[in-house]
Structure 1
Amino acid sequence: MFQNRLINIMLIILVALTLVGVLALVLYTQVFQDSDPEGEPTIDQVLERSVETDEITTNLLSNHIIRSQFVIQLENDNAKDEFEKRSFQIENIIIQELSDMSASDFQGSEGIQQLEDRIRNEINQLMEDGDVIQVYMNQRVIQ
């Protein structure tokens, strides 16, 4: 290659160190990095950031009574803290939304999904430190 043997040895060492550095960088970024923080949360994270409401009993528009309970998944811990402080406002929103519905609105899954979406949107307008990700109706009894 070059006439000077010392330059050849220095170039070989530099190339070897560069390859080791690139290999270390690739291993660090691909293997040792945690999973994508913007990805789907694990079930443990969902449970940590979820709040179950008290059982709510109210009249429906069709003169029926509904007893319901919701689980609300929040974006982060700050949102969960704010949600717990605003529990009376949240229950008021839920009662208002239920009062505008009739018993026939609960016949299919579409009516329940629409209720969950409306509750989520109303709560998100109220929240300052985070958002509601999902609302789950986990109990309902209509009489």
Structure 2
Amino acid sequence: MSKLVKTMLLSLVIIILVGVVAAVIVLNVLEKRDKGNEQTIDEIVEYSYQTPEITTDLSDGSFVRVQFQIVTDGKKARKEIEKRDFQVKNILIKELAKMDEESFKSGLSDVEDILQVELNKVMKKGKVVDVYTISKILQ
């Protein structure tokens, strides 16, 4: 074989090896980063905001008192959600006014999902990760 062919083959093998090593490193780094995105319980508590109890009426005349724990993705988002307390109340009152007693009993997780989606629409410094119902009384 000529010297030029040997040099080309050696260069090609080196390029392939470097590419494989780079791919393995990148995939491992991305996998570790994805695993690191899950919040610990301490972070969940630190980044959470507890709404005050909200009392409102349902469409059938029943009254409900609810309280939520809103989990955000960081400190800035938690501070922002505290300032948006009036919007939280507004969203809840509007959504609960559409429900009757039976739909409230069976659709509480829907209220949590709607609250999360609607708050994420107005958030500027982060996002709402999850919403938990921590207290409810139906009268």
SS of structure 1 residue aligned to 2:37: coil
Distance 2:119 2:94 in 1: 12
Distance 2:90 2:80 in 1: 16
Indicate yes or no: 2:122 matched with 1:126: yes
Q: Spell out structure 1 runs of 4+ moving beyond 2 A.
A: 35-39
Q: What is the CA-CA distance between 1:114 and the residue it aligns to?
A: 1.0
Using structure 2 for the length normalisation, give the TM-score: 0.72
Distance 1:73 1:54 in 2: 15
Q: Which has the larger radius of gyration?
A: 1
Indicate yes or no: 2:114 matched with 1:140: no
| Map of 2:104 onto structure 1 | 106
Distance 1:73 1:121 in 2: 13
Provide Cα deviations, 1:82-116, integer angstroms capped at 9, x if missing partner.
111111121111111111111101333xx111111
Unaligned runs of 5+ in 1: 1-34
Unaligned runs of 5+ in 2: 1-31
| Map of 2:55 onto structure 1 | 57
| Map of 2:16 onto structure 1 | none
SS of structure 2 residue aligned to 1:46: helix
Distance 1:139 1:57 in 2: 11
Q: What is the CA-CA distance between 1:38 and the residue it aligns to?
A: 3.7
Distance 1:112 1:85 in 2: 24
Distance 1:39 1:83 in 2: 21
SS of structure 2 residue aligned to 1:47: helix
Distance 1:101 1:81 in 2: 30
Distance 1:90 1:123 in 2: 7
The correspondence of residues 9-88 of structure 1 with structure 2, limited to 5 A, is 36=33, 38-88=36-86
Q: Which moved more, 1:130-139 or 1:35-44?
A: 35-44
Q: What is the CA-CA distance between 1:39 and the residue it aligns to?
A: 2.8
- RMSD, aligned α-carbons: 1.9
